Structure 1
Amino acid sequence: MGGGPQNMNAMIRQAQKMQEDMKKKQEELEQMEFTTTSGGGMVEVVISGKKEIRSISLKPEIVDPEDIEMLQDLMVAAVNEAIRSVEEKSAAEMEKITGNLNIPGMF
């Protein structure tokens, strides 16, 4: 036999290590902050790795009472870009750990 039970134990240990590494990396990512802008820097959004908005900053010249819709659109664009940034970074970091292994329920 080719060391069946020993090989299985090694695979289980490797999977447990991968799981521990992923949990640690997720905790690190949650502590990070991501900053994105829209409208050429007129709207800035800071978001945590937990996808919680920390702040939204507006340049005074973007505030036009006659064009609230544009401001709303720029804010939505900045928030969506911030969320994409967090998701892309998370996926890239997890891929480093899993070696592009497809694990259901993970990113």
Structure 2
Amino acid sequence: MAGLGKLVKQAEKMKRGIEALQTQLDAKELEVTSGGGAVKIKINGSGKFLALALDAEFLKEDPKLVADTVLAAVQDAAKQAKDYNESEMQKITGAFQMPGMF
């Protein structure tokens, strides 16, 4: 049963690490630009969109181009936040190994 106690302690440590990481992810801001800077998006490490800025001159372009560029920027921002989140989470959970599972 000594192994079980160690496992419980590891799980508690990982839980505390994940909780601390969630706070850090919420505070981390990523800025993504598209269209040569015509579209700027801020998103946090948890994937919450914080800001969207569009260049006034860019809005005079063809509506389809504007829509496609904004959509591409949103998709890129979401992917960057997801990748960042997963990378940081791996640092916490990667060291946690359950005996017999991996």
Which has the larger Rg? 1
Deviations 1:62-106 (A, max 9, x none): 1226x111111111111111111111111001111111769xxxx
Count of residues paired in the alignment = 97
Contact 2:22 2:46 (8 Å CA) reproduced: no
Deviations 1:31-56 (A, max 9, x none): 21111011121111111234232221
Tell me the TM-score normalised to structure 1 length.
Answer: 0.80
Tell me the TM-score normalised to structure 2 length.
Answer: 0.83
Bigger relative contact order (CA 8 A; separation at least 6): 2
What's 1:6 paired with?
2
Q: Which runs of 5+ in 1 are unaligned?
A: 103-107
What's 1:19 paired with?
15
Question: Kindly, what percent of the aligned residue pairs are identical?
Answer: 30
- Equivalent of residue 88 in structure 2, options 71, 93, 102: 93
Shift of 1:20: 1.3
Structure 1 residue 77 corresponds to structure 2 residue 79: no
